Amino acid sequence: MSRFQSIKLPKFIKNKFFIAFAAFTIWICFLDKTNLMYQYQFWSEESKLESQKEFFIKEIQQTKEEQQELLSSPEKQEKFAREKYYMKKDDEDLFIITPAPPANP
C-alpha cells in the first residue's frame, strides 16, 4: 500500500460542497483583485483621508473666524496688513529683521 492510501481524511473534507466552499474562500481572500490586502489598503487610505477631512474642516472654521475678526474693525485690518504684508504708512520707515540661519558645523 502506498503512503497516501493510508492517510484517513474526514468525510466532510471529501464533500464536494466543502471543497467548493474552500476554493471559493481561497479565491476571494487571496486571488481576487479585491483580496484582503487590497481591502486593508483601502481601509487605511480611508482612515487617513477622514483624519485629513477633520483637519481641513477645523482649518476652514478657524479661517472663517479670522475673516470675521478682520472684517469687524479697521484697526485689526491695519494690524494684519502691517504684520503679514509689511505695509507701512507714508511717513514711516520699515525695518525687517530676520533671524540668521543656524551655522552648520
Quote the cell numbers at residue 101. 540661519
Burial 5-35 (b: 16+ CB within 10 A, else e): eeeeeeeeeeeeeeeeeeeeeeeeeeeeeee
Per-residue pLDDT tens digits for 13-44? 778 898 899 999 888 888 888 888 888 999 99
Highest-pLDDT range among 20-24, 49-53, 99-103: 49-53
pTM, two decimal places: 0.52
**Three-state DSSP class for residue 41:** helix
What whole-number distance in Å separates Cα of residue 23 and Cα of residue 17? Answer: 10
The backbone torsions φ and ψ at residue 3, rounded to the nearest 5 degrees and listed phi first, read -65, -35
